[in-house]
A = this chain, B = another copy of it.
Amino acid sequence: MNNPSLVSADTTAGELEAILSAAQEAASALRDSTGSERASWLRAVGTAIDEERAELLDLAAAESHLARAALDAEVNRTVFQLEHLAQAAESGELLRVLAEPADADYAVAARPSLVQAMTPLGPVLVFTASNFPFAFSVAGNDFASALAAGCPVVVKANPGHLGLSARTAEVVSGALAKAGAPEGTFAHIQGVEPGVAALRDPRIKACGFTGSVAGGRALFDIAASRPDPIPFYGELGSLNPVFVTPAAATARAEEIAAGFAASITFRGGQLCTKPGVLIAPEGSGILDSAGAAVAEIEPVTLLTDRITDAFAEGTKSLSGLPGARVVAGGAGTSPTLVAVPAATVLADGGSSLEECFGPAAVVIEYRDPAEIGAIARVLGPSLTATIHGEPADAVAESLVDRLGSLAGRVIWNGWPTGVSVTRALHHGGPYPATTSPTYGSIGAGSAQRWLRPVTYQNWPVELLPREVRAHVDPSAV
């Protein structure tokens, strides 16, 4: 399905050596760049992608099987992400400058003059996602955030869209060169072995990943076992539970059922934020209505053969749980809804509810509100957790603390799919949602993954990095 004219063989050892050597060289030049310069490079990439939109969409649609309209919207988002990170770089906010003047009378001992500012970690390796061939791929958020932070980026192509990756890489490289970014700022590699070799290389200083728990954990283990372990920011798996209180079910069962069916089938259910389980009161009608809505949705071709096979296995496994009943779908890549008794989930400590990537979800019906709390206690961490509740809803209130301890984003009367690219949205969570709970992988805050603080003590202002100097008031240090 890949475009043979664009997909060359895997990156050779010699090519990788040249790429890593150039990235290391570029790291020094990028440390000395300003946020405004990096913003101009990011915008040049956005403009170039927009200009090549038609050709890129053709490639993406052919390789990913995603709907062209969805991909077109994704290009808009990708271009906006580049602009969003450009603004963050330009504003100086990523530097987090903190200046404290010398103080002879400070606390227990005299304090020297101190200026703290973030500095880029160095070359970043990015393993791209299959499900967002633009927004989380070659020119996606990991690329944009690392470059905004001042790090050279080596992107490993996703095998699900090699032709698009190669072409996007050409567009990115061309735009960066034309905009005057240092050579080595960006490179594109292909193949599992070159990806792993790059991850083990001491010139790579951090890694981003979006994908499966199995793949992400294997790479995390490599990063952690290096002689010098490096930060590994992986977004792995997430069940994204949705809890419906009795009051909410009474007030708007049909609306909730329709919203759920739409959310689990959006983009073929191939989203990290797909709500994989809905917990609703028995007899509310939500299960039947959602089942009817899901049954009407056409099967789609999933991203890759591997994902298609895993989906068939996943739905089979869910259908085989004790007491489970297939309410809709259940064959091939049909959107699938499975009802699972609360007792089954409570009995196995929630382990039966592994994420099933694709258009499938589980509904658990509870008999009394005490059960909803018990279910919340056995579910593992997720990117998101959602409550459908009503004002002054005691059942909703009883869930708040537990859900806040499980997820990185909690949602009231909404759906976790449809993620806003902005500063206040955190896209991350405790393992396995992400390998590091501290930073998310969307929005300006995600650039902090590629930075570390440096303090300049009694440092002459004229020797501060060019960019830091611009954001320090000389009279304050």
Contact = CB atoms under 8 A, between A and B. Distances in A.
Interface of A: 27-28, 31-32, 73, 76-77, 80, 84, 98-100, 106-109, 111-112, 114-116, 119, 121-122, 205, 220-221, 224-225, 228-231, 391, 396-397, 400-401, 404-405, 407-414, 418, 420-426, 428-432, 435-440, 445, 448, 451-460, 463, 465
Contact of A231 (B73, B77, B438): B438
B463 A412 contact: yes
Contact of A418 (B77, B109, B401, B411): B109
A404 B114 contact: no
Contacts of A431: 228-230
Contact of A404 (B119, B410, B460): B119
A435 to B, nearest CB: 7
A452 B424 contact: no
Contacts of A409: 454-457
A453 B440 contact: yes
Number of copies: 2
B111 A420 contact: yes
Contact of A224 (B27, B73, B229, B456): B229
Given A224-B221, A407-B454, A77 B108 contact: yes
A201 to B, nearest CB: 15
Contacts of A31: 401, 404-405
Q: Among A109, A401, A451, find the residue whose CB has the most chain B CB atoms closer than 10 A.
A: A109
Given A420-B111, A437-B121, A408 B73 contact: no
A463 B230 CA distance: 38
B455 A410 contact: yes
Q: Among A391, A431, A453, find the residue whose CB has the most chain B CB atoms closer than 10 A.
A: A453
A80 B98 contact: no
Contacts of A404: 31, 119, 454, 465
A397 B111 contact: no
B424 A99 contact: yes
B114 A420 contact: yes
21 contacts: A80-B107, A98-B424, A111-B420, A112-B414, A116-B426, A122-B405, A221-B224, A228-B432, A231-B438, A391-B460, A397-B463, A409-B454, A410-B456, A412-B457, A414-B457, A428-B452, A438-B452, A438-B453, A439-B453, A440-B453, A445-B453
